[in-house]
Structure 1
Amino acid sequence: MPQSQKLLKSTAIVSVFTLLSRVLGLVRDVVLMNVFGASGLMDAFLVAFKIPNFLRRLFAEGAFAQTFVPVIADYQKKSNQNNFHDLQILISRVFGTLLLLLSVLTSVVMMFAPVVIGAFAMGFIHEPDKFATATTLLRLTFPYLLLITLTAFASSVLQSYQRFVIPTVTPILLNICFIIFAIWLSPYFAEPILALGYAVLLAGILQLGLQLLPLYQQNLLILPKVDFAHTGVRQILKGVLPAIFGVSVLQINLLINTSFASFLPTGSVSWLYTAERMSELPLGVIGVAIGTVILPHLSHNNNEQNFIKTLDWACWLVLLIGLPASLALIQISDILMLALFQHGRFGSHDALMSGFALQCMAGGILAFMLIKIFAPAFFAKHQGKIPVKAGIIAIVANAVSAVVLLGIFSTINLPLHGALALATTLSAWVNVAVLYYYLKKQQLFKFNPHSKKRMLQLCVANGVMLIALQIMITLFPTNASQIGKILAFLAICVGGMLVYAVGLFLAGFRSGSLKSD
């Protein structure tokens, strides 16, 4: 099977299960906002959950995966019946080292939870009830970092053997736990919001347990042993810090924005969270899926031309889906929030505030996707310093932009949380620009000769789609029931996708146009 077909098949598998997880995640967020609303307690939970979740994305799905996959790929190249034992030793030592480091970190954070909350959400210090609730929730949620990082470690091993199903099914368990605890179990708690903390803890246990059988089937379920001197462990630890800045810039920026938002009016953290979740739907389904699939291929690929073709294929697939997703979300953000979230304790004002944040953030969706493609290329080549440089520049750009935009938004009387969302977008494009510059400089990437034609086709199709969406939005029934609004919104989405597909076809684009070989 040609490489492009293999990549497309693997990407499709990851995307389908990721889409299922994201859709269930959307249901989860609708449930949480309907049950708890954009309240002070919900703000407290989101801060308490965002800290371990931020570190999860930093270490587990971000930095660790980017450094571990190339290392295990090197061991697999050398692996045969005689030295398969070396691969087992690597997994044992990495497992043991992670277990020790994360156990120590978890213990320290749980002990000093008030200090951590004070550092990440300084605005809560002057609201004692919110601060106390956030502290209690952090002690419940932080062990999730230990459990989910070990889960991500196991998932990386499975993905290196082209087993993508279990790792992509795993996140569904968190969504299920949230929904069950929020709807059915929270009323039994003296403080209902604490139910969400227990949901996170149970989900971490279940997610780790799901990986054990497939690891055993690969003969890779090995007892952990701590060994900082092991060559593979040292190589991974050396690469983790660069990878943090290389692939997890978005998460760092979102956490910085949460700290800023803790000083803004109650509900700001929830509004930003809802916008983040909506922007992550296309990012998770396409950007993360492609990044997950191509990293093992890039790490195994010693042929420079094939390396370049793989990046070109991934980039165009991202443009094909990410560009319309970004433009459409900017246009339909308000009706999306009104249709999906305006219910229960989440009112129309909350929906419009979340929609405004999504408008400001959606412009960066394509950039977020491209980062997931460009950064792994450097890690596959063991050039982690370049994504670090790009990441640091992007983080500084986000902080500076946030301060400047807060001043501008205040002057022109726009909702201040939108400034933080827009700063995230600007930072993402700065990151992409720096990564692209170094890819071109090192001749690791170039668009193929058909690029101008493809870009023209994309512009035509997206232009037609935006016109069609604008017409359909004017017909949206704002006074209908929630079911009616959801059906109308889905009809608009389907209509937009159909118009986009027809626009591509009429512009001359065909399904076989994207090839990496």
Structure 2
Amino acid sequence: MLRGFLTVGGWTMLSRILGLVRDQLLAAFMGAGPMQDAYLVAFRLPNMFRRLFGEGAFNAAFVPLFSAILTEEGESEARILARQVFGVLLTWLVILCVLGEIFMPAVLRIIAPGFTANGPQYDLGVTLSRITFPYLVLICAAALVSGVLNGLHRFSMAAAAYLAFNVIGIASVLFATPFFPTVAHAAAWGVTVSGVVQLGLLMIAARRAGFDLTPLPPRLTPRVRLLGRRMLPGLIGSGVTQINLTIDTIIATLLPAGSISLMYFADRLNQLPLGVLGAAAGTTLLPVLTRHLAAGEHDEAHAAQGRALDYVLMLTLPAMAGLIALGTPIMQVLFAHGSFTLLDGALSAQSLRAYALGLPAFVLTKVLSPAFFARGDTATPVKVGLFTLVLNLILNLLLMRPLAHIGPPLASSLAAIVNVAVLSMMLVRRDALRIDGDARGRIVLMAVASCAMALVLVLINAVLRMPSTHVTFWLGLRLAVEIPLAGVMYLLLLHMLGVLDLASALDGMRRRFRRRRPVRQ
């Protein structure tokens, strides 16, 4: 499982880095204002489908069913299932896309109610949304092909194909802008074109794996119905984070212009560890749990779940602490260029701290949900998800006025923490999650090390003074020293507290490197 975790995590990390470059270009070209807000709302709806299907409900329902049929009935039956589902999925998505294009003005009044007061911004939002909406057809179809590859334990291409989104997004902003009315139009077309490329790459990978995925005529066979019953509840259960973020966007359209942009760039930085760790752990854990439980290997399933929890907490706790401690300089160095000012960076950092508070909970949701899905239980995450959605909406309404652009992110974080707490208690009660005394002790010590690391960073930044000129350059130079220092400090603290044996870890890495190094003739 660790190998799959690292494979998916590595490709996802590269994708997130390229995504960061793409976001820097969007910030530099459009800043934090009405045009940026209109583009981000247009991107939010298909992007929510991408995250729900690509990283959530569809894989949660499809991968266990596909893996079980592949193991029990063979490759031929598994291929038929995939082609049947492909036909039904494409038919439904095309109908949804056509309806969305027709009724987009009404849709935008729902997801961006604040735009109606600004006529030009509303019109631009409708136009951009119609450009980006076909992306949901392409990316959801790509999610099915990716699920097949994950079920075959071919994680590399399934993760690597998503690089195309950011590569094409960067190219569209840099090179296609002169051919469109605004940079927002060019960026919107880049979204849809990237969907074509991603689906094409995954189809090629599936064909090379010996799987012909030509869709069959849509028929609601018993297995397709079973998949639908498992998938539809999971749209809420595993996608609660994304639905909460969409609620944040709806609320943000009612706040001052630029609030959506401030929250978006903060969320994108928060998504770097969330996407890498959450997607990697969830994607690799689900088929592993399904296989162990199908074989009656319950102790092995518990061990796999425990390792996943340990991996993500060891990495997300210091990430949370670091983002809170260094939020302002990080946002200013990354985004305060061109039309995005230093003040915009400082304001966006406030949203980032609110998102970072819930980072461990956001990731743990992706680790805990497979424990339900692998056991065929999609109802429980749905019930918890509905409760969390209502809680998030209430918190948004309470916090949006006094905290402005900080309110929606803080509401999402608090709702995510409650979501994880409830899911954990239910799993423990069912003996589907075992956290013994040693595991709890490790979590406490990792939290202590993370807090100590953050405290040192805060003290360093309080003592050091910044020159009045070339601020971003000096901040970048300081971060280049502070971030590696923080990482080394955290590892040393883990070693001193007995959580991690650095000597053994380094020795294991050396042995792994020697095995992978080619032998010279």
Q: Quickly name the TM-score band, shorter chain normalised.
A: over 0.9
For 2:91 and 2:467, how far apart are their aligned partners in 1?
A: 54
The alignment's TM-score, normalised by the length of structure 2, stands at: 0.93
- 8 Å contact kept, 2:317–2:447: no
1:444 is paired with a residue of what secondary structure?
Answer: coil
- 1:494 and 2:484 correspond: yes
Provide the C-alpha distance between the structure 2 equivalents of 1:422 and 1:452, rounded to a whole number of angstroms.
26
Distance 1:335 1:465 in 2: 17
The alignment's TM-score, normalised by the length of structure 1, stands at 0.93
Aligned to 1:61: 55
Does 1:229 find its partner at 2:224? no
1:289 aligns with 2:280: yes
SS class of match (1:450): helix
Q: 2 CA distance for matches of 1:459 and 1:23?
A: 26
**Structure 1 position 47 matched with structure 2 position 35:** no
1:129 aligns with 2:120: yes
Letter in 2 for 1:263: L
CA contact (8 A) 2:161 2:198 kept: yes
Distance, in Å, in 2 between the alignment partners of 1:144 and 1:459 is 40
Q: Name the CA shift for 1:261/1:491 in 2 (closer, same or farther; >3 Å).
A: same
For the pair 1:251 / 2:242, whether they are aligned, the reply is yes
AA in 2 matched with 1:108: L
CA distance in 2, matches of 1:483, 1:174: 29
Report the AA paired with residue 412 of structure 2. Answer: T
Contact 1:227 1:233 in 2 (8 A): no
Aligned-residue CA RMSD (Å): 1.6
Tell me the distance in 2 between the aligned counterparts of 1:455 and 1:437: 16
Conserved? CA contact 1:59–1:240, under 8 Å: no
Q: Does 1:419 align with 2:407?
A: yes
Distance 2:391 2:158 in 1: 33
Work out whether 1:92 is the aligned partner of 2:83: yes
What is residue 3 of structure 1 aligned with on the other side? Answer: none
Match of 2:26 among 29, 32, 36: 32
What SS class does the counterpart of residue 183 from structure 2 fall into? Answer: coil
User: Is 1:19 aligned to 2:13, yes or no?
Assistant: yes
Please list, as runs of the form range in 1=range in 2, the aligned pairs for 1:338-353 lying within 5 A after superposition: 338-353=332-347
Shift of 1:481: 4.8
1:205 aligns with 2:196: yes
Q: Aligned partners of 1:319, 1:10: CA distance in 2, in Å?
A: 18
Aligned length: 498
User: How many angstroms does 1:289 deviate by?
Assistant: 0.5
Report SS of the residue matched to 1:193: helix
Is 1:504 aligned to 2:494, yes or no? yes
Separation in 2 of the partners of 1:167 and 1:204? 14
Select which of 251, 271, 277 maps to 2:268: 277
Tell me, yes or no, if the aligned pair for 2:177 and 2:186 is still in contact at 8 Å.
yes
> What SS does the aligned partner of 1:168 have?
helix
Does 209-218 or 353-362 show the bigger shift? 209-218
Q: Determine the C-alpha separation between the residues in 2 that align with 1:199 and 1:227.
A: 30
Task: Sort the Cα spacing of 1:225 and 1:432 in 2 relative to 1 into closer, same or farther, 3 A.
Answer: same
The partner residue of 1:404 within 398, 401, 426 is 398
1:298 aligns to 2:289 (yes or no) = yes
Q: Which whole-Å CA distance do the structure 2 matches of 1:477 and 1:28 have between them?
A: 28
Quote the sequence identity (%).
34
Instruction: State the alpha-carbon separation in 2 of the partners of residues 231 and 290 from structure 1.
Output: 30
Could you tell me how far 1:97 is from its partner in structure 2? 0.6
Residue 194, structure 1, aligned to residue 208, structure 2 = no
Q: How far 1:478 moved relative to its partner?
A: 6.3
User: What residue is the counterpart of 2:312 in the other structure?
Assistant: 318
SS in 2 for 1:447: coil
State the partner residue of 2:453: 465
Q: Which one of the candidate residues 450, 463, 475 is aligned to 2:438? A: 450
In the alignment, which of 190, 215, 218 is matched to residue 206 of structure 2?
A: 215
Structure 2 residue 302 is matched with structure 1 residue 308: yes
Query: Is the deviation greater in 487-496 or in 345-354?
Result: 487-496
* Separation in 2, partners of 1:153, 1:481: 46
Shift of the alpha carbon at 1:449?
A: 4.3
Take 1:456 and 1:107, find their aligned partners in 2: how far apart are those partners? 51
Please give the alpha-carbon distance, in whole angstroms, between the structure 1 residues aligned to 2:101 and 2:447: 51
The reply on whether 1:264 has 2:255 as its aligned counterpart is yes
Q: Is 1:432 aligned with 2:420? A: yes
Q: Which of 135, 141, 145 is the matching residue for 2:136?
A: 145
Q: Which whole-Å deviations, capped at 9, do the CAs of 1:392-426 have from their partners, x for residues lacking one?
A: 1110110011112235x2xxxx4x11011100001
Question: Conserved in 1, the CA contact under 8 Å of 2:91 and 2:218?
Answer: no
> What CA distance in whole angstroms lies between the structure 1 residues aligned with 2:192 and 2:467?
39
The one-letter amino acid of 2:7's match is I
Q: What is the rounded CA distance, in whole Å, between the counterparts of 1:476 and 1:343 in structure 2?
A: 21
Per-residue Cα deviation, 1:298-318 (whole angstroms, up to 9, x for no partner): 111122211111111111111
Aligned equivalent of 2:73 = 79
Q: In 2, are the aligned partners of 1:397 and 1:430 still within 8 Å (CA)?
A: no
Report whether the alignment pairs 1:355 with 2:343. Answer: no
